[in-house]
Amino acid sequence: MIQKKDILKVLSQIEDPDLHKDIVSLGFIKELVIDGSSVSFSIELTTAGCPLKNMFKTEAEKLVLSIDGVEKVQVVMTARQTRYGNSSDSLKKVKHVIAVASAKGGVGKSTIAATLACEFAAKGFKVGLLDTDLFGPSLPTLFNIHESQIVQRENMLIPMEYNGLKLMSFGFLLGDAPAIMRGPMVSGYIQQLLTTVEWGELDYLFIDMPPGTGDIQLTISQTIKLDGAVIVTTRSSLSLVDVARGILMFEKVQIPTLGVVENMAYFICDNCEKEHFIFGEKKSDLSERFGIETIAHIPVDSNRAKPFDTYETNAVNSDLADSLIRQVGKISADAVAPPEVKLLSDRVIFTWLGNPPIEIENHILRDACKCALCVDEYSGEKTLKTEDIPQDIHALEVTPLGNYAVSIQWSDGHTSSIYPYKTIRSIDSGRAG
Ligand code: ADP
């Protein structure tokens, strides 16, 4: 007779590549029913539209069919119900809100926000795009909409519907006139825009943030509940310092960074069709430095500099959406809880629940910093001199960064150290070996 435990045993061979655990321990298997020689169950993923869906289904069918006596298998793929994060009238039917940010202007943040909106719409999601830049709204230019008529219903603004996307921008309210405003007025306008647009039902709302990492960006992060942020950067000089600044700003308000998009990373030559990485190798060390992934490298492409027309024609890189959906799934599964951290005068102790503590001497940890001030951004060579680290170096403050890293403020005035959890574990295992 077919037993439930045998089915779970074979299914536990399937590992979720993002969460690094098998799908049985992750609690993905639901409604398992055995009826004679037929088996049916559902696999509940953490996020709808997960690109791994088909891989899990095929593998599960194959494994269960290999059990003696099983003649028929029915696998239904489902997704965990999203809890709506925002209760305001404006966003209460929006499942995920994702900020698209950059520390500097001109890196292509608005272009990437619009590209993401198009990619997600092309996958069948209901998508909105909100441009919150008061001083230089780009959405009217990006979509070539200069005569929008925003309708007001009761006290709410209704976003524009444009080829299947819902769009809203300060540009639609202000026209082409530049905004001249002082700080408090800006915050007030932004808060109004965040809370008075009636988005209706959406799977994803992308917020094109104003460039920078200051008060306006914090106002946005504190007014609404964001699932996470995508940071857009180019590999131009000092951009890694900017990425660190962006990560730390969002972490101040407990918003995880979902990943980085490296824009204008390469170009494809007309003659040889080869990808030329102008600013260095495709492989980026962001993951090693900050514990976050590079979601995509986007080429310099003259088509991207043209106005967006339909989302179908602008959706050209479906990997971009797939990678981001997987990141959202990882965050919602909350697979890795942050460690408990103890700061002592000579070392730092990290303890992950259920694991032995990892103790690292302050000197060694400070020396392992891979920020842009300690390691050359381009050559990857260490610029920090071990002998320059004060003998009495100690950590003043530790802040967990989402579920991937900690940032440490050191007594030598160095504040930009980010240590991915995997770096901490590798220092420990390097010494053990
Ligand atoms: P930001 O929002 O960071 O200020 P924009 O998205 O407005 O930047 O882009 C700045 C300029 O660069 C725009 O003219 C845009 O069309 C162009 N651009 C952005 N990304 C690309 C790309 N991948 N290829 C070619 N041009 C791009």
Instruction: Please check whether residue 21 is in contact with residue 329, taking contact to mean a CB–CB distance below 8 angstroms.
Output: no
- Orientation angle between helical segments 109-122 and 318-333, nearest 10 degrees: 90
Average pLDDT for 199-220: 88
How many residues in total does the chain contain? 433
Neighbours of 155 (CB within 10 A): 9
**pLDDT exceeds cutoff 60 at 335:** no
The per-residue pLDDT for range 362-379, each reduced to its tens digit, is 999 999 998 878 887 667
Lowest mean pLDDT among 24-33, 59-68, 199-208, 230-239: 230-239
Give every CB contact of residue 141 below 8 A, 6+ residues apart in sequence. 171, 307
Q: How far is the CA of 365 from the centre of ligand 1 (A)?
A: 38
161 CA → ligand 1 middle, Å: 23
Whether 150 has a pLDDT exceeding 50, the answer reads yes
CA–CA dist 341, 354 (Å, integer): 14
Q: What is the pLDDT of residue 85?
A: 65
Give yes or no for a contact between 60 and 32, defined as CB atoms under 8 angstroms apart. Answer: no
Name the amino acid, one letter, at 138.
Answer: S
Give kind and range of the element (H or E) at residue 152: strand 151-153
pLDDT at 243: 79
User: Residue range 218-223: average pLDDT?
Assistant: 83
Query: Mean pLDDT for the chain?
Result: 84
Other beta carbons within 10 angstroms of residue 358's beta carbon come to 19
Q: What is the pLDDT of residue 112?
A: 93
pLDDT of the residue at 237: 46
- Residue 307 CB–ligand 1 contact under 6 Å: no
- Tell me what pLDDT residue 282 has: 60
Give the residue, by CA position, lying nearest to ligand 1 atom 4: 106
Ligand 1 touching residue 316 (CB < 6 A):
no
Nearest residue to 326 (alpha-carbon basis) of 372, 295, 302, 298 = 295
Q: What is the mean pLDDT of residues 170-198?
A: 75
Residue 284: pLDDT band with limits 50, 70, 90: low
- In this predicted structure, which of 66-70, 143-147, 194-198 has the lowest mean pLDDT? 143-147
- Dist. CA 123 → ligand 1 center (Å): 23
Q: What is the pTM of this model?
A: 0.75
Distance CA 290, CA 287 (A): 5
How large is the average pLDDT for residues 375-388? 83
Nearest ligand 1 atom, CA 264: 23
Residues 114-135: pLDDT tens digits? 999 999 998 899 999 999 988 8
Does residue 395 surpass a pLDDT of 70?
yes
Q: List the residue whose alpha carbon is closest to atom 12 of ligand 1.
A: 108
pLDDT in tens, 161-181: 988 899 999 888 876 655 565
Could you report the per-residue pLDDT of 43-62, keeping only the tens digit for each? 998 887 788 889 999 999 99
Q: Which domains does the chain have, with CATH numbers?
A: 4-79 (3.30.300.130), 94-333 (3.40.50.300), 340-432 (3.30.2020.30)
**Band (206; pLDDT cuts 50, 70, 90):** very high
